[in-house]
Amino acid sequence: MNARDTILDALRRNRPDPASHPLPPPVMLGDLDAGQARFVAGLRLLGGDLLERAPGEPLAAAIARRFPDARLICSAVPGVDGAVPVQDLPNAQAADPVDVAVVRAAFGIAETGSIFLSEAQLHLNALAHLAQHLVVLLDPAQLTANLHTAYQRPEFRTARYGVLMSGPSATADIQGVLIRGAQGVRSLSVCFDSL
Amino acid sequence: MKDKRIDHAGAAAAFIADAPHLAFHDERLWDMRQKRDAQMHLLPEWQELRTLASQIKEHALANLPDYLEQFEQNATRNGIHVHWARDGAEHNRIVAEILQARGATTLIKSKSMVTEECDMRPYLAARGITVTETDLGERIQQLDDQLPSHIVVPAVHKLTGDVARVFATHYGTDPNADDPRQLAEAQRQAARPVILHADAGMTGANFAVAETGTFVVCTNEGNADLSATVPGVHIATLGIERLVPRMSDLGVFVRMLSRSALGSPITQYTTHFRGPQDGGEMHVILVDNGRSARLGMADFWTSLKCIRCGACMNTCPVYRRSGGLSYGAVYSGPIGAIIDPTFNERKYSTLPFASTLNGSCTNVCPVRIDIHDQLYKWRRVLVDHHQMPFVKREIMHMAGRLMGQPRLYRAAIAGTETALGTLPRFALYNWLNPWGRHRELPHPVKETFHGWYRRNRANDGPGDSGKAGPEQAKDTGR
């Protein structure tokens, strides 16, 4: 018998009685506030930040203000002056020199300050991880309250790669000291931008 | 199968002797426990979430063969290659075959407890494949040639100076650098070129969703997403017990995982893989390695509900004061002590005794595993199977006979009080009394309770202990 059938056969022999272990119906628990204030509190708790724009200020100017030393900005959204379109990167490795990547999140989660990115937003998945800093556009209308409501979103059933990013990369593996900016992006800034 | 028993008590004694490491370890883990408590108190629905998580997992385990088939069908439809491995050897062979078929010689990987179980790195190294751990803690442990000492924070038993020493040897950094930031940056700089040039990437998985064929990886450093998205080949190793039925179930588990583990509301990265990226290739290996047999153990199958958060380790007074390495196993702490004996009953026979049975592990477990009850049940199994060291076994036999006979017991107690009061220390504290190695024996008393009772209360009514029924016992609040 092959491995698959051996394992399935052993599980069928050994499992507890399925009738004694019914599946509870899906739940919608907890705070259902999907407001911006809650999102921003969650984002900051996990080390993320807001990128705020003066009225009428172009995104490129706000990015230049936040990252004055950035040499290579790569954008997955159109209309960022001076940015290389992500479509111009031939492969994942080409994203390594990127200082700032600009993307638009499909949605955000107020409970945790998380933003969702998939291949539909990124075009090149590695861009969100090889770049030094990440700027995320988020339509406040696309905020969802918590993880229960988030998992009803259609993106989880269509994306092949879908990441909830909650602040920048972080580690506390050396003597418990929390360090923001571990191996992925060193910072994550959310810029509210209605569509 | 005559593996040597792990000397947990001996290793723990060595750990305790190192005061700075012990103090940090104890405080750091207790801090994680307190942060977990703070998060728990923010969610009024916490206990309901625990109950749901337990029910969903028990349901998934009772229907595991069906959910595995559903997962396989959906994942395959989405373009994922699904493999099955009965044990570690088969898992390692599959990984090597995937890599060799593509001429891959370098593999970057994020943390996966299953690959530790399978002891994969030496197997691949012998076949000319260089494996690089990319998680900081796991990389420190790889370079130092040690098992992870904690399932979430693998190098938690080390101080900054220890990491500086390891990095100085392997990365050529300053051995006196004692700034964690500098050391974390050294890891980032060392890992990046390896990641960029790796032939293949590997991750574990925290959850797998049957209805969509998705697997989910929860991490903080970004290394798992780099490992999965930069190279063209992504291999994910999953224990078969990771399955949940529905996408909506993830809401329950993701809300509790990092809150239980580190006391943060969610991991920095919660990544859902449902198919290969453009131009890429994705493999999932479903690993049994003893799990299907464990499912048939009436007293222990619910240990398969574990979501590997480490909360039981952080709260355990024995784990915090003995360190993960003292367990001599891939899984340490309370959860390790109830699953390790299923891998090797003799080798890990001491681990279920590394507990005070205080029940704290059970109380913090997000999937409501009755860990301390299982610790107790393992002790019974191990005694039945003669897996107790000789002295402990014989002392327990004598105690059992003694306590089963009230008259004999009373005579012995009277004699013991005399002995405690008169015998010299060398006669009381020796190898026949391991209990006394770290403890003072009780002070002798002039009179036993039974003697006092007979003198003062014997004529007041029912009460001779020989006649006392369960009702009386309950009334006295025992």
Tell me, yes or no, whether A187 lies in a domain.
yes
A25 touches chain B (CB under 8 A): no
User: What is the dihedral sign for C-alpha B267, B272, B278, B279?
Assistant: positive
* Domain span at A145: 33-192
Question: What distance lies between CA B282 and its chain's CA centroid?
Answer: 29
Mean pLDDT of B286-293: 98
- Whole-number Å distance between alpha carbons of B209 and B67: 9
Instruction: Give the whole-number percent of chain B exceeding pLDDT 90.
Output: 79
In chain B, the residue whose alpha carbon lies closest to the alpha carbon of A126 is: B229
Burial B2-30 (b: 16+ CB within 10 A, else e): eeebbebeebbeebeeeeebbebbeebbe
Q: Which of A20, A29, A182 sits opposite B184 (nearest CB)?
A: A182
Provide the pLDDT for residue B452.
Answer: 86
Structure confidence by residue, pLDDT tens digits, B367-419: 999 999 999 999 999 999 877 777 677 777 777 777 788 888 887 777 777 77
Domain ranges of chain B: 43-289
A70, pLDDT greater than 70 = yes
Q: Identify whether A105 is part of a domain.
A: yes
Query: Quick check: B336 pLDDT over 50?
Result: yes
Output the pTM of the full model.
0.90
Is any Cβ of chain B less than 8 angstroms from the Cβ of A68?
A: no
Q: Is residue A162 part of a domain?
A: yes
> Of A141 and B401, which is predicted with more confidence?
A141
d(CA A183, CA B226): 8
pLDDT score for B137: 97
Is residue A156 predicted with pLDDT exceeding 60? Answer: yes
Confidence of residue B478 (pLDDT cuts 50, 70, 90): very low
In this prediction, residues B355-369 reach a mean pLDDT of 97
Share of chain B above pLDDT 70, in %: 94
Q: Please state the domain count of chain A.
A: 1
Q: How far is B46 from chain A (nearest CA, A)?
A: 9
Beta carbons within 8 Å of B293's beta carbon, 6+ residues apart? A10, A14, B342
State which residue of chain A sits closest to B31, comparing Cα positions: A176
DSSP-derived secondary structure letter, B211: T
What CATH number did the domain enclosing A92 receive?
3.40.50.10420
CB contact under 8 A, A114 and B61: no
Q: Mean pLDDT over all residues of chain B?
A: 92
pLDDT digits (tens, 9 = 90+) for B414-453: 777 777 777 777 777 776 776 677 777 778 777 888 888 8
Which CATH number describes the domain made up of B43-289? 3.40.50.10420
| Best mutation target, A14, A133, A157, A183, to test chain B (most B CBs within 10 A) | A183
Judging contacts by C-beta atoms under 8 Å, the chain A residues touching residue B68 are 7-8, 11
In a domain, A27, yes or no: no
Chain B residues with CB under 8 Å of A129 CB are: 222, 225-226, 229-230
Given an 8 Å threshold on Cβ–Cβ distance, is B62 in contact with A15?
yes
For the residues B37-65, what does the mean pLDDT come to?
98
Taking residues B73-85, what's their average pLDDT?
Answer: 98
pLDDT tens digits, residue range A77-96? Answer: 999 999 999 999 999 999 99
Confidence of residue B462 (pLDDT cuts 50, 70, 90): low
Q: Number of Cβ pairs closer than 8 Å across A and B? A: 262
Q: Nearest-CA distance from B331 to chain A in Å?
A: 18
Asked if the structure places residue A40 within a domain, the reply is yes
